[in-house]
Chains A and B, each alone.
Chain A
Amino acid sequence: MLRIEGLTAEVEGKQILRGIDLELPQGEVHAIMGPNGSGKSTLSYVLSGREGYEITGGSVTFNGQDLLAMEPEERAASGVFLAFQYPVELPGVGNANFLRTALNAQKRARGEKEVDAMAFLKLAREKLKALQMSDEMLKRNVNVGFSGGEKKRNEVLQMALLNPSLAILDETDSGLDIDALRIVSDGVNALRGPDFSALVITHYQRLLTYIVPDRVHVLMGGRIVRSGGKELALELEAQGYGASAA
């Protein structure tokens, strides 16, 4: 269970999150929608521990732990995964090496046995296949020269390998073609289960026909202004955010 209470945060002295309250029970998928600049990515960074985001109030607990007191890598090891809206390029760092280093760093932190190169390759190939990605992806440098859609798929590949218990998907659907959208959604749905929960940030109702959310929240001006069932997304698509603002 992820519990966010009265969360306020600023960036460079500017208040962005103005009191977020949100409960995401284990096993559920919630969607967050909202206009550009409303603070969606800020929320995802605050949840994953990025520097430069100053928490000015409120609390976040994940499975009873004080998430805000943890380093980003500790959050990752305890199951938090952020699929970046803008995945970062790491020149010269091979994708396979990156993924295995990340997986083993998490395993080490959890006191689990690390995977060797062979076992990793087998696992990676499995996940690649499920996402209809070519093995070539493993040889390339992390996100370098990837198309927008390839970057997003690479995020989902990482998620599949790291097998998180809380995934925050920040506009993972943006830039995906129709087929990729379905494949990526299948990838997310494959993880769904009693021990997995997700916050899916999106601008488009279409994604939510593939990844059907348990709840939909509207984030505006740094607050959750409305929450509802999956039909809320349809209503927003038809009417825009104007009505929510009132």
Chain B
Amino acid sequence: MPAVAETIETVQAAQEGGYKWGFETDIEMEFAPKGLNEDIVRFISAKKGEPQWLLDWRLKAFAMWKKMEEPDWAAVNYPRIDYQDLYYYAAPVKKVGPKSLDEVDPELLRTYAKLGIPLKEQAILAGVEGAGDSPSDSGRMPVAVDAVFDSVSVATTFRGELAKKGIIFCSISEAVHDHPELVRQYLGSVVPQGDNFFACLNSAVFTDGSFVYIPKGVRCPMELSTYFRINAKSTGQFERTLIIADEGSHVSYLEGCTAPQRDENQLHAAVVELVAMDDATIKYSTVQNWYPGDAEGKGGIFNFVTKRGACRGARSKISWTQVETGSAVTWKYPSCILQGDDSVGEFYSVAITNNFQQADTGTKMFHIGRNTKSTIVSKGISAGRGQNTYRGLVKIGAKAHGARNFTQCDSLLIGDQCGAHTVPYIENRCATAKVEHEATTSRIAEDQLFYCRARGLNEEEAVGLIVNGFCREVLKELPMEFAVEAQKLLAISLEGSVG
């Protein structure tokens, strides 16, 4: 368990130079001081008891980041982020484990319940004694969950069950200790430290995240999922996720995100790296519901995320599904590098912007191997004064003979103050490749609304139903357990957008 209560003395002892880390520790949280410098990077690394190679890796990233400029090409506007005015490390202090759910902070449970985490897993995540000993007995498919609260992973469930199959599912900090060879081999192998401004920042200061390794030929028997939560004030969240699917393996992974309501903007800059070997399949689903800010555009999360998967092996497949309903600003392009011959990349996305939300999201598909295939289905919904941009790149290399891409971008507008934009780039250097692109922009038709209302649905229910229908092709890609939750989320995010 990584979230260990520590006294100032122990931390100081861990610091060779004996830095004076003035802790701001209240009952629940402990923080590193605000601001970012080399000492903070060293502090985070020391706090996690990391080996030298990883500290060096972080320092190298930090040195690169200092020379980088924040990108400004995305169609989003936001006030300048003061990187020196943020906390880069915040951890909940572990108390003695509660005996039952009654003793758990009800706010935390409400968070889990809202995310649709079944009670059993809620108990495990909340650290209820004995709750993790037996697999879910409700008869339904269990879901293994890793929860990252601010900077650290607080619990991972069903670890024993998974270990029997040789599956490793733990926080990345634990993986650094327990499986250093895997982490060292793959960390940064898909998203290098200097890839972009935000990924570089993450490389320097990432605090936790999930690690998954599926051994050869193993089909992961349950959904793996991580819940990310930003809780502390003025705290950046920089999690790092690494998933490796060895030859012939299969895994489905889901991440959910929430953050409390605050007037200030909070920064989230995550990196996710996926590696699929020969015949391996990784399905990665996201339900992103970070706090979007209020109806006047105050507060909300700045979500700058780099997600990339490498289909290294032949016939490997990586499928991204995302439902983006939250965040004030979203900047996110889950991508696939299709190196292996006959490998497949998929991107299914729903992005909703309401009120003053802005989303610039899409994907990049790099076709390198022969007969590589990619499918992109993007559904953007704009309401209120929301701005929604699909930005995509399909790049086909000279040797990607027989490569195929199909892209479909549909935008739905609700009201007349919002905007939808489509920016598809295609670079094709191979004559035998085929690229297809379809795009539509529509409004919710008056006759559809009236038809629903004449059957008894009120205007909001009608819009919810029509929007869910519009997103069907994407929602059906989500694991069953979460599809229902996502549907509800869509309806909730559009509240107040009509009438």
> Does A193 belong to the interface (CB within 8 Å)?
no
Count residues of chain B with CB under 8 A from any CB of chain A.
Answer: 23
Count residues of chain A with CB under 8 A from any CB of chain B.
Answer: 32
A82 touches B454 (CB 8 A): yes
A88 touches B453 (CB 8 A): no
> Does A84 belong to the interface (CB within 8 Å)?
yes
Q: CA–CA, A103 to B451, complex, Å? A: 14
Q: Total A-B pairs in contact (CB under 8 Å)?
A: 81
For residues 430 through 464 of chain B, which have their beta carbon under 8 Å from a beta carbon of chain A? 445-448, 450-459, 461
Segment from B179-187, B400-408, B466-474 that makes contact with A: B466-474
Give which listed residue, B450, B457, B470, contacts A101 with CB less than 8 A: B457
Instruction: Name B450's closest neighbour in chain A (CB-CB).
Output: A50
Taking the closest CB of chain A, its distance from the CB of B378, in whole angstroms, is: 15
Q: CA–CA, A89 to B448, complex, Å? A: 7
A-B contact pairs, 17 of them (CB 8 A): A52-B446, A72-B450, A73-B456, A73-B459, A75-B454, A82-B454, A84-B451, A88-B448, A88-B451, A90-B451, A90-B465, A92-B471, A93-B469, A105-B456, A106-B456, A158-B455, A162-B455
Chain A 2-43 near chain B by CB (<8 Å), digits 1 or 0:
000000000000000000000000000000000000000000
B455 touches A102 (CB 8 A): yes
> Does A51 belong to the interface (CB within 8 Å)?
yes
> Does A213 belong to the interface (CB within 8 Å)?
no
Q: CA–CA, A83 to B152, complex, Å? A: 57
Query: What are the residues of chain B within 8 A of A87 when measuring CB–CB?
Result: 451
Q: CA–CA, A81 to B452, complex, Å? A: 12
List 6 tightest A-B contacts by C-beta distance, closest first: A92-B469, A92-B472, A93-B469, A102-B455, A106-B456, A76-B456
A72 touches B453 (CB 8 A): yes
Residues in chain B within 8 A of chain A (CB atoms): 445-448, 450-459, 461, 465-466, 468-473
Q: CA–CA, A106 to B450, complex, Å? A: 15
> Does A109 belong to the interface (CB within 8 Å)?
yes
Query: What are the residues of chain B within 8 A of A187 when measuring CB–CB?
Result: none
Instruction: Name B451's closest neighbour in chain A (CB-CB).
Output: A88
Query: What are the residues of chain B within 8 A of A89 when measuring CB–CB?
Result: 448
Give which listed residue, B447, B456, B472, B473, contacts A88 with CB less than 8 A: B447
Q: CA–CA, A49 to B450, complex, Å? A: 9
Q: CA–CA, A82 to B466, complex, Å? A: 20
Q: CA–CA, A200 to B472, complex, Å? A: 36
Give which listed residue, B453, B469, B472, contacts A76 with CB less than 8 A: B453
A93 touches B458 (CB 8 A): no
